[in-house]
């Protein structure tokens, strides 16, 4: 069983303040509860969900997150969030500009940093986000080479440095968790130690509507991420293959979540997937999108008049705007002149 050093972060020697142990009874007096609810109010406008959005969200509808936040507030420490995601760019050239982080990631990192800053306005110790980059966990299932995922992860870290966001954002990945093993060995280890049985996931998908929507959403993403110009099989064969791979993605996603919990105990778990009220995870929307599933690594940015920016497929964005190049690389599209 993997046993990380106690209360350490993703960098050797970097100490992470720990809240009270899991399950500890943190008193929720009026002052503590008010602070926790103020922190939740910062997050609520950006919640990613499939729930009825006509109902106004209130902090008391998220008791799990209130308890998690309270453990950090009670200790007087910055609230620590973990966000699994930022894996790599989609391999489908009709969706993204290339294999490296671009304007979508840059804006998303600034958004997360801004959330931490706004939390500091209501809770002075503020907050930190650990981006748990999970591309290597899924490399063989999403058909992206490990070398491309390394390049993406290194680019993400470089962006954080260049944009001076490192006071609140850090990156954790499979390289930090399993050291010098090969990526095949790392994937096998995290799956063997933490992944649920396939039969359990199949039963959940049949019985639970939220689990079924997640399975369907991941299946659709796998299908749409396929470079159809390079795929030689039939459409129906690809659909069957994607349904099978979707279960593998969900298994490893669960396993990765468990591993992240071992390394970052007590952290408030954010998710790039839609999450219902009452979930142990809090779905977060990084940028404006046409649907609740789209992410910066499955799309690119289109800048419209007035500075409004939204995510969309590359094939759609390039019909509407012109390409902007920054530092010698494609960055995003814009409808503005110049």
C-alpha to C-alpha distance for 79 and 165, rounded to whole angstroms:
16
C-alpha to C-alpha distance for 113 and 128, rounded to whole angstroms:
8
C-alpha to C-alpha distance for 149 and 238, rounded to whole angstroms:
23
C-alpha to C-alpha distance for 25 and 240, rounded to whole angstroms:
47
pLDDT at 229: 65
pTM, two decimal places: 0.86
| Whether residue 152 has pLDDT greater than 70 | yes
| Whether residue 1 has pLDDT greater than 50 | no
pLDDT in tens, 199-211: 999 999 999 988 8
154 in helix, strand or coil?
A: helix
pLDDT at 117: 97
| Whether residue 150 has pLDDT greater than 60 | yes
CB atoms within 10 A of CB 82: 23
In the numeric block, which tokens belong to residue 41? 């109010």
pLDDT at 175: 86
| Element holding 172 (H helix, E strand) | strand 169-173
Burial class of residue 235, CB neighbours in 10 A (0-12, 13-18, 19+):
exposed
CB atoms within 10 A of CB 247: 17
pLDDT in tens, 259-303: 999 999 999 999 998 888 888 999 999 998 877 788 999 999 999
| Whether residue 12 has pLDDT greater than 60 | no
- List % helix, strand, coil for the chain (3-state, nearest 5): 50, 15, 35
pLDDT at 185: 95
pLDDT at 34: 93
- Residue in 218, 249, 297 with CA at minimum distance from that of residue 137: 249
CB atoms within 10 A of CB 210: 15
C-alpha to C-alpha distance for 57 and 258, rounded to whole angstroms:
28
C-alpha to C-alpha distance for 262 and 243, rounded to whole angstroms:
30
C-alpha to C-alpha distance for 37 and 76, rounded to whole angstroms:
16
The mean per-residue pLDDT over the stretch 67-83 comes to 94
pLDDT in tens, 53-65: 656 788 988 999 9
| Whether residue 5 has pLDDT greater than 50 | no
| Whether residue 157 has pLDDT greater than 90 | yes
Half-sphere exposure of 170 toward its Cβ, with a 13 Å CA cutoff? 18
96 in helix, strand or coil?
A: coil
Task: For the chain, report the end-to-end CA distance as a whole number of angstroms.
Answer: 57
The mean per-residue pLDDT over the stretch 99-113 comes to 97
């Amino acid at each position: 069983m993997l046993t990380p050093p106690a209360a350490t972060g993703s960098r050797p020697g970097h100490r992470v303040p720990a809240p009270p142990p899991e399950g500890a009874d943190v008193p929720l007096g009026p002052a503590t509860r008010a602070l926790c609810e103020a922190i939740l109010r910062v997050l609520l406008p950006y919640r990613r969900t499939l729930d009825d959005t006509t109902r106004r969200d209130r902090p008391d509808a998220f008791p799990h997150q209130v308890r998690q936040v309270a453990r950090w507030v009670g200790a007087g420490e910055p609230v620590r969030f973990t966000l699994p995601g930022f894996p790599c760019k989609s391999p489908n050239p009709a969706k993204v500009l290339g294999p490296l982080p671009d304007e979508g990631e840059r804006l998303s990192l600034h958004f997360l940093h801004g959330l931490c800053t706004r939390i500091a306005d209501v809770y002075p110790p503020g907050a930190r986000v650990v981006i748990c980059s999970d591309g290597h966990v899924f490399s063989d299932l999403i058909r992206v080479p490990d070398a491309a995922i390394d390049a993406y992860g290194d680019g993400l870290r470089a962006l954080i440095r260049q944009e001076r966001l490192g006071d609140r954002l850090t990156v954790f990945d499979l390289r930090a968790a399993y050291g010098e093993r090969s990526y095949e060995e790392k994937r096998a280890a995290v799956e063997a130690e933490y992944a649920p049985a396939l039969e359990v996931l199949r039963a959940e998908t049949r019985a639970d509507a939220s689990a079924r929507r997640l399975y369907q959403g991941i299946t659709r993403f796998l299908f749409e991420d396929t470079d159809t110009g390079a795929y030689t099989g039939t459409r129906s064969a690809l659909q069957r293959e994607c349904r099978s791979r979707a279960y593998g993605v969900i298994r490893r996603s669960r396993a990765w979540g468990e591993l992240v919990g071992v390394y970052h105990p007590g952290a408030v778990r954010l998710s790039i997937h839609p999450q219902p009220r009452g979930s142990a995870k809090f779905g977060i929307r990084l940028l404006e999108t046409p649907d609740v599933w789209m992410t910066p690594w499955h799309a690119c940015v289109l800048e419209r008049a007035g500075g409004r920016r939204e995510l969309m497929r590359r094939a759609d964005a390039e019909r509407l705007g012109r390409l902007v190049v920054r530092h010698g690389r494609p960055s995003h599209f814009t409808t503005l002149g110049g």
